[in-house]
A and B are shown apart, each in its own frame.
Chain A
Amino acid sequence: MSEHATANLTPDERIAHCIEHLGHVLPSQASIRDFVHHNTLHGFQHLPFLEGLAAARRLTGAPAWLPEDDFRSFYRNGRIDDADLAAAMAELARITKLDLDAVLATFDGHAITRGEVLRLSLLQDCSPLPLAQLRWRVEEMGVLHEHADLWSACLELLSIDAGFAHPESLLEGSARQQAGAATASVDSEDFTAEAATLWARLAAKVGAGGTAGELIATLTGEDVPRITRALLLRHFGAHLDLGVAPWHNPARAQGFYRAWKDSAMRDPAWRLESLDVSLDDVAALPDDPLEAVLAELTRLGLPEERWEGYLERLALELPGWSGMFLWRQEHPDYMGIPGAPVALLDFLAVRLVVERIVCADIARRHWNVALNLAELGRFFATQPAELLVRHAYHDREGGDLPEYLLDLIEPHLPAAKDAALPALPELWLWLADCIAAWRATPTAEQTARHGLTRSAWPLFRLAQHLGLTAEALCAIGTPGAEALLRALDCLDADQRGYLWLLSYERHYREQILSALAANHGRWSGHAEGPAAQLVFCMDDREEGVRRHLEEIAPEYETLGGAAHFAVFQNYYGLDDTRPAALCPVIPEVIIPAHEVHEVPKPGAGETARRHAGRIAFRQRWRERWHQLTRHGLFAGVALLLVGAPFAFISQLLRTAMPGRFGALLADWREKFDMPVPTRLDFTAPNDAGPATPQAPRDGFTDAEQAERIGNFLTALGLTHGFAPLVVIMGHGSNSANNPHMAAYDCGACSGRHSGPNARLFAAMANRPEVRALLARRDIHVPEDCWFLGAEHNTSDDRIEWYDLADLPGDLQPVLRALDGALAQACRAHARERCRRLYSAPLDLTPDGAFAHVLGRRHDWSQTRPELGHATNACAFFGRRAMSRGAFFDRRAFLISYDPTRDPEGKVLERHLLINGAVGAGISLEYYFSTANNANYGCGTKITHNVAGYCGVMQGAASDLVTGLPRQMIEVHEAMRILVVIEQTIELITAIYQRQPPLQELVGNRWVTVVAKHPETGALHLFDPELGWLPWQPSQAIPTVHESGDWFTGHRDPLPPVLLERPLGAAA
């Protein structure tokens, strides 16, 4: 956000503008029960990928690339080869306008080019070392022994004093003498100018560059965030709680700021923490949060144009909590929690007030000065030496003082609260003088152009890898050496990360595209029409099942589409009290306009009544069982005593046989509840009024149904050649003890099971009225064709069928055959999944693997219930012929699309806008959580603690951690998604040019796009700057009989391979 754009705003507008802007930088993760994958850095998506990640690093300090060491190990393991590296270097050279062929120096007729130096620096670590590490390597590991002459040559060329000053020779006084500094007659005048510059820099940083707390911390070393967190976290949790606590702040309904103030003005914690604030001071705060924000910013003396930056910085100190405040502000009715309005402004107001109280207290204790930039500036103008010493000591980033100086200063800088020693002015002067003296010595490396760690060591390493001898190096001379050093630094950290990523992606892309090219034309569809068609979710996890099904029974055809199946609904299951919005929220939030109820079948009324009674009974007792034993006093104790033996037996059984016990419990539960035959109530009269998200209507009219069915079938390309049985397969995942459960569910149904949508779709498509309307759209569904809904559970690979009772009798044998084949395919798929799970032995049989995944699903100790999307890497939009008969290691989103029936590209346009964005969201979330799990992911699951039902904390008092846990991403390969579209480049270009969202996503390189020509199979890689680049296959792809032959016995990711088996029926 540029400052001049907001220069003319009033203060109020400025704050409002800032809060709007924060929506772009704070994590916008939903409450964890409704976890949906999205681009972690969506706020930076308007920038090109490299710039976006660099901007994020500047704002949050967190790099978004894998560490270089990881990439180096990829190189060693053959996951990146020289060709990849060369291509990536050429790309970076183009972006940065760097001449890689520039000759930096020559020796013995050999010219050293910049490219050579860069390549070496990528493969070998030539970065500067901290002084202590360098000393360790030299003195303890003897790295200089063999190359002593080379080392001295480096020193000589860079005019650096030889050798290290030994730590003992740096003891008291000696450094001063080394520097020849005068011991007496130090005057505060000597430091005035330096201190003034320093203060100007520090004060200017307050704003977008730092908070008051950070300023105070660099001068006193006091851990301001720790103190403020202790005062704040419980209040945050209390306000955002969605139902853990039975008792909330009585003033909660007045908003967070008022509720906090109401509590804080009665809270003696201020005094107990020895903070210099009275309860009256708190009570005197303004009642309005906006006024409070303005008052605090004014009080700090911050220029108005820096307010936005300051608030942003403050919000980003606890990004999880502030992000959740913002998300809840945007979803005011979430979970129907009454009387708890949430606003980010409240959060900022409380945050500012508490920060000020804590910092002002510190400032008073140390200097007896108010917390105001101008007053602090005036104070330090009179105490320049103190400012310099404090800053040098506490600001470890730039300071890096040697140990003897730290020891010298330490006793004079009291860190403990009550131990304020009055330091004497002459003491500060003396210490400042010591620091100045040290700065003047060569080891300090602050004044000279070259230093031991900064230049001599990198040059030494580089010369060795270049094969330069001491003589050769001397021959090159100082200008040559400096040119080499400059070449080492020709790319910054982000550019180097990007370079590595490009080469990593290219290696994989070559394999995928080679496989696609080799597979072109191998399968041209069924000669006589398939025995059945199965529509799966586009999810990468379904690639495996589809492949195995086709291998086992090549007579079936599989298709892939987004598993909302275009029937967006507010779904009321038979036992639900609240609707579930089964529709996507990416790229934009869709609010369904139609409600669908699961109702008992006619004649099942009595069973349903008893079922409802039992469900209510069970749920009531389950709530008591889990909740009353936690917070109840008398009833809680009694229930706990009664329940203890059962809990004890339950945990023994869960430990001994998680799978069987879990299945048994589910079985008992179902028997107890009395299963009710149900149907979906989804049809509205044709003359019903319009349905809107604000006033959702019960059911769809015939026209609406036909429209949705038609749209989806058109998108799939399934408008003709219907098999007698068409299975619509939703999916979902279950896990026993997992806060991130929703992250494993169907992304197209916003983190829920998509079975109900499959069931609804099938029921609609079977209605004669709908089919008649479809025929008008030229979609002729034969009368003997039947749609059947089902759900695939991706955790235990079991299939649940819906409405089997309605299936026409003559299709029963077809279903039996399909069911058998699917059961086999699911077992084979379970076995394929198990190869990536360490606790599953590699030699499992399909049945053994099937039992293993069942146990995993029900195992309460399992932090990895399944792999999730951890294997995703590419997305194919096209006919199944494109990918059928090839093994993609469960890495591809498969979206069915028929390019031959989409002359204007309308169908593809919708595909790319919606499904492309969903795939990109998933892949980018995985990318960032993997590349930097500590900052963009949520760390390890094992210390997670569910907070307020809305997120997880690490331990009992931390920020809400967002992103994916480490357990979800450890097998993921962090790369951007590769989208391959089966369509002509002209058509894709036309779509790209008329769709700004695609220009953002593709043009800014957040995804990579390749076009595959529908007829010739020619591949073109899209570069936003260079346009379409023709691609030629670079490697031969082997062929095996079936996927099991390829993956058996392997734990690691595997390259693609061609398969014979799925093509069997056609051959």
Chain B
Amino acid sequence: MNCAFVFLLIAPLLPLLAALGIAAHILSGRARGDAAEPPTARIAIGAAWAVVVLMLALDGLALVEGAPGHFTLGAWFSSGAVDIPISFMADGLALGAATLVALIGAVTLHYARNYLHREAGFHRFFMLMSLFLAGMLLIVLAGNAALTFVGWELCGLTSFLLIGYAYERPVATGNALYAFLSNRVGDAGFVLGISLAAWWVGSLEWAAIADWAAGAGETRFDKVQARLLLFGFLLAAVIKSAQVPFAAWIARALEGPTPSSAIFYGAVMVHAGVYLTIRLEPVLLQVPDIMVYLALIGAATALYGWLGGLVQTDVKSALIFSTTLHVGLMFLLCGLGAFEAAGWYMAAHASWRVWQFLLAPSYMHTAAGPAAPAPRWLTGHQWLYTAALQRFWLEGLVRNVLIRPFQAIGRDMRDLDDKVLSHLVGMPARWRAGPRAEGDTAVIVGHGLAGRLLYAIAESFRKLENRLLMKGDGGTFSRMSRVLGNYLLLIESMIEQPRYLILAIATTFIVIL
């Protein structure tokens, strides 16, 4: 391997340093007024172009000498049997994708320099965009799942912060939270994938996972294990790329400035899931049944994106549904085994969509007339129209099927905490602050730390006294029995509820398996 590829390490580091530089600029308190904007923009844009130049140089080198593929730079950390080095992937896909990411990032940052002039969040925006670029380059170039995950998380976080860019609008912050939480489910999948890989494969390197799938690894390949491993990673991929049934979040993510909507949801981040799927190609090829599911998800998403896109009346939503359609088709291609085609498709789509998104403000001038009507066989169906307009109720369905039950369990836990556990450890529960609350009177007033400490100690002694001695036997006993009664009632009511029945059955199954 040519040692020049060591410089790949710099690619994600440059935007990261740019983000840190801008952060320092903000913290210095000098990031105010018109004159503070050019330095910030220059740092971010300079870093992006530097990455472009670096990537082009390495691309050239790879063309001449061949791409080195997976390589390791040094140890990062190790835990037990699993070593996690700092490793990179420099095959054609990674190099090409990184070049494209950097180019699109540079164009978008250039655009933002004028577009966000005199915005209160100007510096914040450039910092987050740089951080995002660092994250995205890490996803693309990382040689192992742990590094990829770092990039994955950076993207998720910056996405959340930029949807909530206009944080004075409740709709924006609400949608930011919605997108973030949806993505956390995917993150959990990613973590599951990582742990299973560490457990079964013994390594997090993408190359090692590929070897394992090819039967050349140190540990034996097992189809069931591969399925579970893929389930984790693909859950992350499917959610990041907004596939059915998790497609709803992306249409709500359009509250940020136009350039960030363009690069996150139109052009770059939305493809991260496809990229991850292509990375998993060797494993996927061993378990064709998962590929069938992937193809089905992709086809369903494409249909969802197409029908949804036909009824959107605002330009950004229309474009995002179109994006959903195309990304769905990419998953379909992956599911059909055409991974390379999916890769090229991804590159073409990213190049196109960022352009179209950045031109969205003048859509009504670039496109002169009304859109050509949808096919005749479709337009008459009121129910189907309503379904498309309401985005196939995905949001509500997911909320009712997945979120509500968890919320309910959470609430029961809190009730349990409040009504039973707090009593057992003697903490005053919130609900008891009522007419039955004891009229505590302050005897001492403390000043300063020592005084307050003394006060607190005295107070607790007094409470103990109150509780145990002054109330007498009858009081304590009756209260204890009431607590016990409450406890039993609660358990009984819980058992009556179907979700616990299901939970119990599920637990039984898991134990049996």
Contacts and interface: CB of A to CB of B under 8 A. Distances in A.
A628 interface: yes
Nearest to A856: B114
B286 interface: no
Contact of A956 (B117, B317, B383, B408): B317
Contacts of B236: none
Interface string B242-267: 00000000011011111000000000
B184 interface: no
B279 to A, nearest CB: 23
A246 B310 contact: yes
A476 B325 CA distance: 78
B382 A956 contact: no
A860 B111 contact: yes
A528 interface: no
Interface string A628-660: 111101001100110111011011100100000
B311 interface: yes
Interface string B364-402: 111111111110001111110110111001001101100
B316 interface: yes
B370 A651 contact: no
A237 B314 contact: yes
Given A244-B371, A861-B112, A946-B315, A408 B361 contact: no
Interface in A945-976: 945-949, 953-958, 967, 970
A626 interface: yes
Contact of A234 (B175, B359, B367, B389): B389
B362 A738 contact: yes
Given A408-B433, A861-B115, A948-B313, A266 B318 contact: no
B464 interface: no
B203 to A, nearest CB: 37
Contacts of B107: 651-652, 655
A640 B326 contact: yes
B431 A411 contact: yes
A419 interface: yes
Nearest to B399: A272
A1040 B433 CA distance: 78
A231 to B, nearest CB: 10
B115 to A, nearest CB: 5
B111 A741 contact: no
B116 A942 contact: yes
A394 interface: no
A110 interface: no
A355 B349 CA distance: 42
A235 to B, nearest CB: 8
Contacts of B370: 242-244, 337
A637 B309 CA distance: 14
A737 interface: yes
A643 B314 contact: no
Given A172-B437, A250-B380, A633-B306, A942 B257 contact: yes
Interface string B96-108: 0000000100110
Contacts of B119: 940, 942
Contact of B257 (A243, A739, A943): A943
Interface string B292-313: 0000000000000010011111
A736 B359 CA distance: 9
Contacts of A269: 390, 393, 396
Interface stretch (B21-29, B163-171, B465-473, B504-512): B163-171
Interface in B316-374: 316-319, 322, 325-326, 329, 345, 347-349, 351-352, 354-356, 358-374
B371 A641 contact: no
A986 interface: no
A863 B117 contact: yes
Given A245-B318, A630-B322, A266 B117 contact: no
Contact of B393 (A268, A862, A941): A268
Contact of A640 (B106, B318, B352, B393): B352
B315 A244 contact: yes
A33 interface: yes
B393 A970 contact: no
A738 B361 contact: yes
A427 interface: yes
A266 B116 CA distance: 43
A124 to B, nearest CB: 25
Contacts of A736: 362
A739 B348 CA distance: 27
Contact of A272 (B309, B326, B400): B400
B434 interface: yes
A51 interface: no
Say whether chain B's binding surface is mostly helix, strand, loop, or mixed.
Answer: helix
B70 interface: no
Given A273-B396, A622-B368, A942-B116, A947 B313 contact: yes
B114 to A, nearest CB: 4
Contacts of A737: 358-359, 361-362
Given A244-B312, A655-B110, A741 B365 contact: yes
Interface string B406-444: 011001000000000000000000110111010111100
Contacts of A241: 313
Given A650-B355, A940-B119, A970-B118, A630 B364 contact: no
B374 A237 contact: no
What bracket does the count of chain B residues touching chain A fall in? 35 or more
Nearest to A229: B171
A643 B348 CA distance: 8
Contacts of A244: 312-315, 318, 363, 370-371
A159 interface: no
A629 B352 contact: yes
A251 interface: yes
B352 A250 contact: no
B65 interface: no
Given A643-B352, A860-B359, A942-B258, A954 B374 contact: no
B255 A647 contact: no
Interface string A304-329: 00000000000000000000000000
A650 B352 CA distance: 10
Contacts of A32: 364
B113 interface: yes
A943 B255 contact: yes
A957 B354 contact: no
Nearest to A274: B400
A446 interface: no
A149 B164 CA distance: 48
Contacts of B362: 735-739, 741, 860
Contacts of A245: 310-313, 318, 371
A408 B441 CA distance: 18
B348 A640 contact: yes
Given A263-B386, A269-B393, A942-B115, A623 B313 contact: no
Nearest to A173: B439
A860 B169 CA distance: 27
Contacts of B393: 268-269, 272
Interface of B: 34, 103, 106-107, 110-119, 165-166, 169-172, 175, 251-252, 254-258, 306, 309-319, 322, 325-326, 329, 345, 347-349, 351-352, 354-356, 358-374, 378-383, 385-386, 388-390, 393, 396-397, 399-400, 404, 407-408, 411, 430-431, 433-435, 437, 439-442
Given A408-B433, A739-B364, 16 more contacts: A172-B433, A243-B370, A245-B313, A250-B379, A267-B386, A272-B400, A419-B411, A623-B367, A645-B351, A655-B107, A943-B255, A945-B317, A945-B360, A948-B313, A954-B255, A956-B314
5 contacts: A250-B379, A272-B396, A629-B352, A652-B107, A940-B119
Interface of A: 32-33, 172-174, 183, 223, 226, 234-235, 237-238, 240-251, 262-264, 266-269, 272-273, 337, 408, 411, 418-419, 426-427, 429-430, 619, 622-623, 626-631, 633, 636-637, 640-641, 643-645, 647-648, 650-652, 655, 735-739, 741, 838-839, 859-864, 940-949, 953-958, 967, 970
